[in-house]
Amino acid sequence: MGAYIAVDVGGTQIRAAVFPEDGVEPIRQKKILTRDKDAHPETRMNDLIAELWPAQEKVVAIGVAAPGPLDPKAGVIINAPNIPNWKNFPLRNYVQERFGVPVELGNDANLAAMGEWKFGAGRGHDNLVYLTISTGIGGGVICDGHLLLGLRGFAAELGHVTLIPDGPRCSCGQPGHLEAISSGTGIANYVAEELKKGAPSCLSLDPLPTAKDINLAAQKGDSLAVAAIERAGMYLGLGLSNYLQIFNPSIIILGGSVTQCGDLLFNPMKAELKQRVMGPEYLTNLTITKAGLGDMVGLLGALALVRNLYH
């Protein structure tokens, strides 16, 4: 029997798991903190893989999900701002040299799309758009049964489409991207701006409200908080209407903490989507649903990547 090792690297923690040849229940798994004063993240990651290495089964391949931008074809992290020293870092070779088995690398949001496609809410759909909405907005697209990568694997940055040319500044530096408006950060920044202008609200500037605070206030009916989430939902719908025309998916899967806002976010999103889409044929047989894999999505995405290639 063969086994696969999946690794999910984030700015806060590194998770790894050993999976059997089939099925999605890990044989062993462990998570550690990404940062430690005594060792680099890449050394910690390799040590974690070594610790979990199965004694009986032969390891077929290792899949790694990491924050982008990264080049999945070259196996190089271009720049992971939350991980010290990971700039033009050849992660695939680094892991491959130590363990001597095939290693594949993917952008975490792209692999989340793959995970949902193979094991989660998107099973059976070969045209799928996935968005994760939390601090930022990440995306992944399955198009005609393939993960969409583009020339160097930089495709499907669905959070970085321009919706307001002179809008709020995005984390990437450009103005008016979807991420700058509808992410948790975008919602919090909007509320802070409105509070500074004197908008009435139970929220105050001290301390600055987070997206979670704003959702709680909105659920109690606070008008500014409600308006902020509805605005995020409206722009999300605008973004999605563009993706419908570009990718013609049969399912849109929404993950990430901001989806906890529920209908307050989804109702204006759906209304805008309906209003903006080019024709009703894009909405026929379209499913819009929440993500199904929870916090296992990174590991299962990395598993989906290697199983797809080496099974």
Binding region for Zn ion (CB under 5 A):
160, 170, 172, 174, 177
Whole-number minimum distance, CB 162 to Zn ion, in Å?
Answer: 8
Closer Cβ to Zn ion, 177 or 231, answer by number: 177
Closer Cβ to Zn ion, 7 or 163, answer by number: 163
Terminal alpha carbon distance of the chain: 12
Which residues are 107's β-sheet partners? 66
Whole-number minimum distance, CB 55 to Zn ion, in Å?
Answer: 45
Whole-number minimum distance, CB 154 to Zn ion, in Å?
Answer: 13
Let me know: does 10 contact 31? Beta carbons within 8 Å: no
DSSP code at position 296: G
Closer Cβ to Zn ion, 75 or 159, answer by number: 159
Let me know: does 293 contact 169? Beta carbons within 8 Å: no
Let me know: does 119 contact 105? Beta carbons within 8 Å: no
In DSSP notation, 178-190 reads: HHHHHSHHHHHHH
User: What size, in residues, is the chain?
Assistant: 311
Whole-number minimum distance, CB 246 to Zn ion, in Å?
Answer: 17
Closer Cβ to Zn ion, 42 or 157, answer by number: 157
**143 sits in which H/E element:** strand 137-143
Closer Cβ to Zn ion, 95 or 240, answer by number: 240
Indicate the SS3 state at residue 18: strand
Whole-number minimum distance, CB 168 to Zn ion, in Å?
Answer: 10
Whole-number minimum distance, CB 182 to Zn ion, in Å?
Answer: 12
Closer Cβ to Zn ion, 64 or 141, answer by number: 141
Report phi then psi at 126, rounded to 5. -100, 0
Let me know: does 17 contact 29? Beta carbons within 8 Å: yes
- Tell me the residue nearest to Zn ion as measured from the CB: 170
